[in-house]
């Protein structure tokens, strides 16, 4: 097979260098620089979210398979791929643990800094897929009341356990966004959305920047509580006015844990291997020397200050905020050089 199969790989996909070389010609490139000429004779692409996969990239090429080592798929034109026989796989759920860690590190960190009591508070989760489910489980474990809004799940499973968006916004002390970006969620958080939120409520966005109308958020800022933003409209460009109003600002790294990156790369490699019949890679996982063990925490029965201290010790989120504020124009570099963190977990 060597010399016959060609794979183009985003050079930000970790743990993949050397994996396919015994079986294929492999070209590594910066994802945002991958163009049509680069993939003209490629059979497969292994990407993250920096490469727009549509007709302008794929038309007339030999690409038959695209594996994304990330959860998001809004960079992929599925209609084009489906109509041209191109298979697409993404790493569903790979970053769920890392994002959950980020949400609760940010929540308890901001509450501590602003002396906001969290006992008896309600968390409203908008989008209850792989990430939202992890947030839900942790919230229940910590004793929060949980409200859930997820129209696709409510339609498929029935309305029990879900509420409409109006009710969630009007009754949640913390609103956290975990929706995919599509035509139903773009600009979801607009002026009307913020007007319906409770005075002083937290807002956490770790999904996609385009879900939030940033100018509306800026205008609504005075009546909201702590603001935690990891994803931004038009990344890597940053709205500095919005950044200045946040309590925590980070460069789209909520899911950047060792476990998440290992899982994402593993899913992408296995997908390509199975599509092309590369049997030695069917069960690929990054070698043990790069594995960082996750950390088990016991938070039951502990007070808010103790929980905040334990979580911050395991993920000191304000360090990420500090370095981003020092270098907001270095969005891409901060992401590419980010030191993946260990995940923490609890026994539910």
Alpha carbon distance 172, 167 (integer Å): 8
Is the Cβ–Cβ distance between 233 and 205 less than 8 Å? Answer: no
Handedness of CA 123, 108, 70, 257 (dihedral sign): negative
Rounded to 5 degrees, what are φ and ψ at 119? -60, 130
Task: Report in angstroms the alpha-carbon separations of 119 from 139, 204, 303.
Answer: 12, 18, 9
Burial (Cβ within 10 Å: 0-12, 13-18, ≥19) of residue 138: buried
The residue whose two tokens read 């070209």 is 27
Residues annotated as catalytic are: 208, 235, 252
> Distance from CA of residue 77 to its chain's centroid?
19
Q: What angle do CA 332, 334, 339 make, to 5 degrees?
A: 130
Is the Cβ–Cβ distance between 15 and 262 less than 8 Å? Answer: yes
Beta bridge partners of 26: 7
Is the Cβ–Cβ distance between 73 and 91 less than 8 Å? Answer: no
């Amino acid at each position: 097979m060597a010399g016959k199969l060609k794979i183009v790989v985003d050079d930000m996909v970790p743990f993949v260098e050397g994996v396919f070389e015994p079986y294929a010609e492999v070209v590594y490139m910066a994802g945002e620089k991958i163009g049509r000429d680069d993939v003209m004779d490629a059979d497969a692409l292994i990407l993250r979210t920096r490469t727009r996969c549509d007709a302008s990239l794929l038309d007339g090429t030999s690409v038959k398979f695209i594996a994304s080592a990330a959860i998001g798929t809004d960079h992929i034109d599925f209609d084009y791929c489906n109509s041209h026989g191109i298979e697409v796989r993404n790493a569903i759920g790979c970053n769920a643990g890392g994002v959950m860690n980020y949400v609760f590190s940010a929540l308890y960190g901001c509450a501590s800094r602003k002396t906001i009591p969290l006992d008896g508070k309600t968390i409203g989760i908008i989008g209850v897929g792989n990430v939202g489910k992890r947030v839900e489980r942790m919230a229940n474990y910590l004793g929060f009341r949980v409200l859930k809004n997820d129209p696709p799940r409510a339609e498929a499973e029935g309305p029990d356990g879900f509420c409409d968006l109006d009710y969630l916004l009007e009754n949640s002390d913390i609103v956290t966004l975990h929706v995919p970006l599509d035509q139903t969620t773009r600009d979801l958080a607009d002026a009307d959305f913020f007007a319906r939120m409770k005075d002083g409520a937290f807002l956490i966005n770790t999904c996609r920047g385009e879900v939030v109308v940033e100018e509306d958020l800026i205008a609504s800022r005075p009546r909201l509580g702590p603001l935690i933003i990891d994803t931004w409209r038009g990344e890597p460009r940053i709205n500095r006015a919005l950044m200045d109003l946040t309590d925590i600002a980070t460069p789209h790294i909520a899911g950047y844990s060792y476990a998440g990156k290992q899982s994402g790369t593993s899913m992408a490699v296995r997908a390509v291997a199975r599509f092309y019949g590369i049997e030695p890679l069917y069960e690929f996982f990054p070698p043990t020397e790069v594995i960082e063990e996750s950390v088990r925490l016991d938070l039951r029965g502990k007070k808010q200050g103790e929980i905040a201290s334990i979580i911050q010790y395991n993920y000191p989120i304000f360090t990420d905020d500090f370095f981003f504020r020092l270098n907001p124009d270095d969005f891409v570099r901060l992401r590419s050089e980010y030191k993946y963190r260990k995940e923490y977990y609890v026994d539910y």
